[in-house]
Amino acid sequence: MSEEDILNPPRGMRDIVGVEAELHEYLADVFRETARRHGFKPIITPTVEYFKLFEMKSGEEIKRSMYVFQDKAGRTLALRPEVTASVVRAYLKEMRALPKPVRLYYVAQCFRYEEPQKARYREFWQGGLEVIGDPDINADASVAFAASSFLEAVGVKHYYVVGNVSTYRVLMDKMGVPGETQDLILHLIDKDRVGDALKVLGGVVTGGHVELFNKLLNSGLDEAPGILREFRLLGEGEQTTLEAELARTREFIDLLNQMGFHAVYEPRLVRGLAYYSGLIFEYKTSEGLTVSIGGGGRYDGLTRVYGGEYEYSTGLALGLDRIALLLSPEKAVPRRSLIVVSILEGVPLKAGYELVKRITSGGLAVIPYRARTVSKALGFANKQGADAVVILGRRELESGVVTVKDMHTGMQSTIEAGDTDALIKLLEKHGGRG
Amino acid sequence: MSEEDILNPPRGMRDIVGVEAELHEYLADVFRETARRHGFKPIITPTVEYFKLFEMKSGEEIKRSMYVFQDKAGRTLALRPEVTASVVRAYLKEMRALPKPVRLYYVAQCFRYEEPQKARYREFWQGGLEVIGDPDINADASVAFAASSFLEAVGVKHYYVVGNVSTYRVLMDKMGVPGETQDLILHLIDKDRVGDALKVLGGVVTGGHVELFNKLLNSGLDEAPGILREFRLLGEGEQTTLEAELARTREFIDLLNQMGFHAVYEPRLVRGLAYYSGLIFEYKTSEGLTVSIGGGGRYDGLTRVYGGEYEYSTGLALGLDRIALLLSPEKAVPRRSLIVVSILEGVPLKAGYELVKRITSGGLAVIPYRARTVSKALGFANKQGADAVVILGRRELESGVVTVKDMHTGMQSTIEAGDTDALIKLLEKHGGRG
């Protein structure tokens, strides 16, 4: 490996530095705080899981694009491609006895071995919300509301595209399409390859059924129940179930619109994960990105795949890297005043650090700097982009004062070193001018 | 894999859930906020790096205990065992032109394939600080001060054990001990196997030198300069350099003690990472854990290993999992009031969510719940451990009020739904009684 190579992160991965890193941290902070305010509790699952966990129910594409490897004891492990499977596993292991619904959030990096391209990294960050144990549409509304609150808080205009995968699943079951073929068909629809999907379907069912299926893929919520009735295969119970699913989809869309978010129905929305069972949705933005910035939906019964009781569940994940691409770091991240505490020659470091301690207590950012002269200190502060410099020289130390210089106006003042409140207030004023 | 296996995280890894997860998030939050206040900027490096990056300078033990694997293109990758190597790589790639010193922080999970035992997980979380481009002892003081501020903020009593690895490195260089043998000797000292270390040393140098080396390993800062003078191998320049290193070590210890932290010199402290070049230190606690809860030191010149210019650098990392073990989650994590907003039958969800929005704006945690009756809502709130319930029924909606019930006292009151401030104040009062 050449010297140049050693400075690069692995292909498709990134160093996030500078204002980009500040934006990333800000988004993660606001996501966590928003989740907590909406009654979600944190969960931290391993970055590495047994491959088997994801193999069981993640969907074709994700399975193909996982980082899979063996540990020294020969266990087959994988870097997580998403977090919901881990959350469900941890729920079954440790949280079955909790009062339902269990509301969980996470911020975690995930990995997919795909060709790197815009807004698609091999390591990417997701902020997720999950509600386990609640069949009510309120559970879906609650995760959506929290996610939209987050997006609004960070200033991302967004709308919802809503679908329901249960109609296609139930119909294909009744037509006798094997599970893996179903996954492939949904995967092709997800990739906007409806023609190919219908071709695969045509290989296992009659032409009339293919036509009806295609009609469903092109119909709104008003027409869908009528088209379902044309499928003679459906029993009355199934017909009722699917109509209820469509009604639920409509209720969700109406509710989002009433809440002031914009939501539209999209019959071709199926999502890439094989565990979705009914209502699904994606977050889109009309500015800057055509790919979705997040999505989610119902995964009722995923608990059963891992050997647990049937549980109703819903959740979503937002792509923090994609959201970051929509924002300007300088505008999005709240600015914090930066102060240099300049400890001049002859002043014990200890005295300088006492000052640092008091100024940081006010929430300002402080860099302690040991300088031989005031002009060196000012040069340093200038380079660091500081809003103000607090100068502590021998003269100041003896008189119990500090000299404060505003780096924007050049204004200088002397203030009692012991009066923390006044000092912080003065420094904040300097920062505010920045 | 059996059904039971599928519910377990990989061996040596964990799900962090419940109050443990809240504690973990709290520690990470306080670490980040403390770092920001002390003028550090975030950096996010990949979880996965080229194996080569760590192979070059991480130390014997870490190399042996890495998760190493090949990606689909045959690249040899590793899960990071620590973050400093990545930070230095990213610095060289992207930050060389920044004004120095560059002050960076991270919170990141790391991986070591070791036998799982108490306070040692295969995936563990580190909070780290790095200062690149500053030879002054103030840089070391500054990271130490920020770390101690964090530990004090979360309530962890700690003290410093301080050493300096440069004496041993320079002496072994002069005695002609090969680099890898040096690493092995320091590794053995680190593992408290001084006898074995001296045996290895005896294989390559004379008995007299082994004896002097051993004397250094057992001497305080007062005796060390005299012992160094007994090594005839040292030129005057080297003697001066090492004495300056010892003086620097003393200055650091004195400074920490003056600042009110407790610090002691330990000649046998060498640390497990091969890139340390001089002053080193560890964080210990007298309560609960014998292993260190963090450590750091000078890694001047590590930039050169990766082909860059020589840079002075210092830094540290704290083990957040170990720190969590020292704390009681219930006591350590600030409590947030939990409110259930109960949306009764006949009330549009939308009206309930407007209420949720207003209450979350006050920083309280809110779970929206759709209930058929008030008693169901109270039962739900009770199970969830809520401090108060806000009831929104048809009657309330029509009169523009909400009913608030304190879950601790049972006290009930009616309040204007539109007066957000009064509502939040009332709910906070209920939470405060918890």
> In this predicted model, what pLDDT tens digit does every residue of A234-258 receive, in sequence order?
889 999 999 999 999 999 999 999 9
A245 is in an annotated binding site: no
Q: Tell me the average pLDDT of chain B.
A: 93
Handedness of CA B18, B24, B26, B28 (dihedral sign): negative
Residue A227, min C-alpha distance to chain B (Å): 30
> A-chain residues within 8 Å CB-CB of B18?
41, 94-95
Q: How confident is the model at residue A181 (pLDDT cuts 50, 70, 90)?
A: very high
CATH topology of domain B3-330: BirA Bifunctional Protein; domain 2 (3.30.930)
Q: A415 CA to chain B: closest CA distance, Å?
A: 22
Distance from C-alpha of A255 to C-alpha of A144, rounded to nearest angstrom: 10
- The 3-class SS string of B97-138 reads CCCCCEEEEEEEEEECCCCCECCECCEEEEEEEEEECCCCHH
Number of residues assigned to chain A: 434
Query: Which two structure tokens, joined as six digits, stand for A176?
Result: 């006798």
How confident is the model at residue A23, as a pLDDT?
98
Using a 10 angstrom Cβ sphere, with 0-12 exposed, 13-18 middle and 19 or more buried, the burial of residue B44 is buried
- Prediction ipTM score: 0.95
Report whether pLDDT(B434) > 60.
Answer: no
- Going A96 to A97 to A100 to A106, the CA torsion angle's sign is negative
**Chain A residues with beta carbon closer than 8 angstroms to that of B28:** none
pLDDT at A316 over 60: yes
Give the span between the Cα atoms of B131 and A168, in whole angstroms.
Answer: 56
Q: What is the mean pLDDT of residues B373-391?
A: 96
Q: What are phi and psi of A316, to 5 degrees?
A: -160, 165
Q: Are A404 and A369 in contact (CB under 8 A)?
A: no
Instruction: Please determine, for residue B354, whether its predicted confidence score (pLDDT) is greater than 70.
Output: yes
Residues of B in contact with A258 (CB under 8 A): 348, 350
Burial class (CB in 10 A: 0-12, 13-18, 19+), B78: buried
Instruction: Give the number of C-alpha atoms closer than 13 A to the C-alpha of residue B374, restricted to the C-beta side.
Output: 14
Strands A262-265 and A159-164: parallel
Q: What is the pLDDT of residue A288?
A: 73
- Cβ proximity of B14 and B323 under 8 Å: no
- Cβ A36–B365 below 8 Å, yes or no? yes
The predicted structure's pLDDT at residue B117:
81
Q: Residue A433: which pLDDT band, with cuts at 50, 70 and 90? A: very low
For residue B393, the SS3 value is: coil
Q: What is the pLDDT of residues B333-348, one digit of tens each?
A: 999 999 999 999 999 9
Mean pLDDT over B185-210 rounds to 93
For A134, name the nearest residue in chain B, comparing CA atoms only.
Answer: B369
pLDDT at B149 over 90: yes
Confidence of residue A59 (pLDDT cuts 50, 70, 90): low
> Which has more pLDDT, A273 or B6?
B6
CB-based contact A1 B50, cutoff 8 Å: yes
State the pLDDT at residue A291: 87
| CA nearest to A69 within chain B | B69
Q: Which of A4, A20, A44, A103 to probe the B interface (max B CBs under 10 A)?
A: A44
Q: What is the pLDDT of residues A2-31, one digit of tens each?
A: 545 889 999 889 999 999 999 999 999 999
Cα A262 to Cα A144, A281, A388: the distances in Å are 12, 12, 45
Confidence of residue B115 (pLDDT cuts 50, 70, 90): confident
Outline which parts of chain A fall under CATH 3.40.50.800: 335-432
Residues of A in contact with B34 (CB under 8 A): 360
Of chain A, the percentage scoring pLDDT greater than 90 comes to 83
Mean pLDDT of the B207-220 span: 94
How many of the other CB atoms lie within 10 Å of CB of A201? 24
- Three-state DSSP class for A120? strand
At A434, the pLDDT band (50, 70, 90 cuts) reads very low
Phi and psi at A182, nearest 5°, equal -60, -45
Strand A401-406 vs strand A412-416: parallel, antiparallel, or unpaired? antiparallel
Q: What amino acid is encoded at B351 in this protein?
A: A
Q: Which CATH number fits domain A335-432: 3.40.50.720, 3.40.50.2300, 3.90.76.10, 3.40.50.800?
A: 3.40.50.800
- For residue A357, pLDDT beyond 70: yes
Distance from C-alpha of B258 to C-alpha of B318, rounded to nearest angstrom = 22
A88 vs A314: CA distance, rounded Å: 11
pLDDT score of B433: 43
Chain A residues whose beta carbon lies within 8 Å of the beta carbon of residue B67: 48, 69, 71
Residue with tokens 């050049």: A410
Give me the residue label for tokens 């505010």.
A432
- Select the residue of A1, A22, A77 nearest B10 (Cβ to Cβ): A77
pLDDT in tens, B171-184: 999 999 998 899 88
Q: Pick from B106, B108, B103: which is nearest to B143 by CA?
A: B103
Does A156 count as an annotated binding residue? no
pLDDT above 80 (res B214) = yes
